[in-house]
Copies of this chain bind each other. A is one copy, B any other.
């Protein structure tokens, strides 16, 4: 396609570099920005530049953070004895939203995936080792995706750290709240029968 203006062509090219956005959508977004007050596109543009140039990582858990140690790691009311291994910041946010966890996190930064060329060395595994060597952690929770890559990563970490004196656990898998049994996939249903829990009135 021939764009009538070079700045428009450049913007469309850059926007369509984002995942899931093709050239038509990119042009639609660019035209939208041109119809809004200039300040909106300027704020958006500047926030993207600031995002990648000013973002910091917590030196403890590798989550994004504005300070050297993030708010979760520096919170004295959270226990250091339970360490929850997650893939990325979205998982931290999802678990924090449940208000059910008061330990600390460690953000791996991905999962072992030979298909995508991600091996253990690209993940923050040495930080887990350092924390285990300090001897404070008593339980290591694997809160990883229920996929082959997630399972592989958990297995790798278990093999690597099983000689440390910690309990290993993994988040429960089964039927989601609100799901109908007849529509559940057989693997989830099978696991939820195998891992059945004592019934109590609180549910």
A residues within 8 Å of B by Cβ?
A: 1-8, 10-11, 13-15, 17-20, 25, 27-34, 38, 40-56, 58, 63-66, 70-72, 88-90, 92-93, 96-97
B41 and A52 within 8 A (CB)? yes
18 residue pairs A–B, Cβ–Cβ below 8 Å = A4-B66, A5-B66, A7-B66, A11-B47, A11-B51, A13-B47, A14-B43, A15-B44, A15-B47, A18-B29, A18-B33, A18-B44, A19-B29, A34-B55, A44-B48, A45-B47, A46-B49, A48-B48
B46 and A4 within 8 A (CB)? no
What is the predominant secondary structure among interface residues of chain A facing chain B? helix
A31 and B90 within 8 A (CB)? yes
A14-B43, A14-B44, A29-B18 known; A34+B52 contact, CB < 8 A: yes
Q: How far is the CA of A47 from the CA of B157 in the complex (A)?
A: 43
A55 and B18 within 8 A (CB)? no
